[in-house]
């Protein structure tokens, strides 16, 4: 008797994925990977030009159906806008990927972070995933089974000096992942994906960061895609409340030292912005 191909468990054929922060880097790479695995997509980003380019590339190379929403996920009515678009274009949504992020402020002592800067990070990194996850569970996935993948960060496990809003909000997102996993099982699985410092070309931002990474290099955005497909697919059917690290061995092995932060432009002062979707 023929056994089913094990790779079939990784396929996303017939499913629909909603990805925030889909306009660049890891979000864009996951969008391409999900489409190649067979999924249709609803892509969300506040950068219209960037996300339109991703959508066009995915359509051209995979032939999958792709719809786009232009919004800042941290805005008050963003979830309503996203849900309306999902209902307009698709019957249900099976996969939610919360990838949009905001730094709030960097290069700032924890005691000097303003309320507005705390709120900027929390709105995008915690409250938006919470609201979208609730809408996903209650509305978008319908009566079927679903998967939520939250993009975490090593900053949520080893605090980044002078980046308290980002570190705290990413730690909170990990707990949010665990709470939704506990409350929504077994119908909805919720897991975390923790990438390292990644870019489309895989070049580390600084030599200090490269040396501190056991793999000895930066990561490419497409290197997070395999783990993202695994977490979204039947291949991970017994995983919920779990986390997959794809960071070259960085988290828990080295952590963020002052010399890494001082050499990294991302760690330099950044006020009321630092928002990437």
In a domain, 3, yes or no: no
Query: How many domains does the chain divide into?
Result: 1
pLDDT reported for residue 211: 85
pLDDT reported for residue 138: 96
Tens of pLDDT along 169-181?
A: 999 999 999 999 9
Confidence bin at 208 (pLDDT 50/70/90): confident
Is a pLDDT exceeding 90 seen at residue 56?
Answer: yes
In a domain, 64, yes or no: yes
What's the whole-number mean pLDDT along residues 81-94? 98
Confidence bin at 6 (pLDDT 50/70/90): confident
pLDDT reported for residue 266: 61
In a domain, 50, yes or no: yes
Is a pLDDT exceeding 50 seen at residue 22?
Answer: yes
Question: Using CA atoms, how far apart are residues 30 and 26, in angstroms rounded to an integer?
Answer: 6
CATH number assigned to the domain comprising residue 92: 3.40.50.720
Active site residue 34: no
Mean pLDDT of all residues belonging to the chain: 91
pLDDT reported for residue 273: 47
**How many residues does this entry show for the chain?**
277
What's the whole-number mean pLDDT along residues 11-22? 98
In a domain, 4, yes or no: no
pLDDT reported for residue 209: 83
Within the chain, where are the H helices? 25-36, 48-62, 78-89, 115-122, 128-135, 164-184, 207-212, 225-232, 258-263
What's the whole-number mean pLDDT along residues 36-54? 98
Please tell me whether the overall predicted TM-score, pTM, comes out greater than 0.85 for this model.
yes
In a domain, 2, yes or no: no
Q: 34, 166, 230, 256: which is the annotated catalytic residue?
A: 166
Identify the residue with better confidence: 256 or 22. 22
**Domain residues for 217?**
9-276
Strand, coil or helix: 108: coil
Tens of pLDDT along 126-173?
A: 999 999 999 999 999 988 999 999 999 989 998 888 899 999 999 999
Cα distances (angstroms) measured from residue 113 to each of 34, 104, 173, 205, 271? 38, 9, 20, 25, 9
């Amino acid at each position: 008797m023929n056994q089913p191909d094990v790779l079939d468990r990784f396929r996303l054929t017939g499913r629909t994925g909603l990805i925030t922060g889909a306009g660049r880097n890891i979000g864009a790479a996951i969008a391409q990977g999900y489409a190649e695995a067979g999924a249709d997509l609803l892509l969300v980003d506040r950068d219209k030009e960037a996300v339109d380019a991703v959508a066009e590339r995915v359509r051209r190379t995979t032939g999958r159906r792709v719809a786009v929403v232009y919004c800042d996920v941290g805005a008050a009515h963003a979830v309503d806008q996203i849900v309306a678009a999902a209902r307009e274009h698709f019957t249900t949504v099976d996969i939610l990927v919360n990838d949009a992020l905001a730094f709030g402020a960097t290069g700032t002592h924890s005691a000097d972070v303003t309320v507005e800067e705390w709120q900027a990070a929390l709105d995008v990194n915690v409250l938006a995933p919470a609201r979208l996850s609730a809408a996903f569970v209650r509305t978008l996935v319908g009566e079927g089974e679903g998967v939520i993948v939250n993009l975490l960060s090593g900053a949520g496990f080893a605090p980044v000096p002078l980046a308290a809003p980002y570190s705290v909000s990413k730690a909170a997102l990990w707990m949010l992942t665990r709470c939704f996993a506990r409350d929504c099982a077994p119908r909805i699985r919720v897991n975390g994906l923790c990438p390292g410092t990644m870019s489309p070309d895989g070049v580390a931002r600084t030599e200090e960061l490269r040396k501190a990474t056991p793999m000895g290099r930066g990561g490419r955005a497409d290197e997070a895609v395999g783990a993202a497909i695994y977490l979204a697919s039947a291949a991970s059917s017994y995983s919920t409340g779990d986390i997959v690290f794809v960071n070259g061995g960085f988290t828990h092995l080295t952590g963020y030292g002052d010399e890494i932060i001082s050499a990294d432009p991302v760690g330099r002062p950044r006020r009321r912005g630092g928002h990437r979707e």
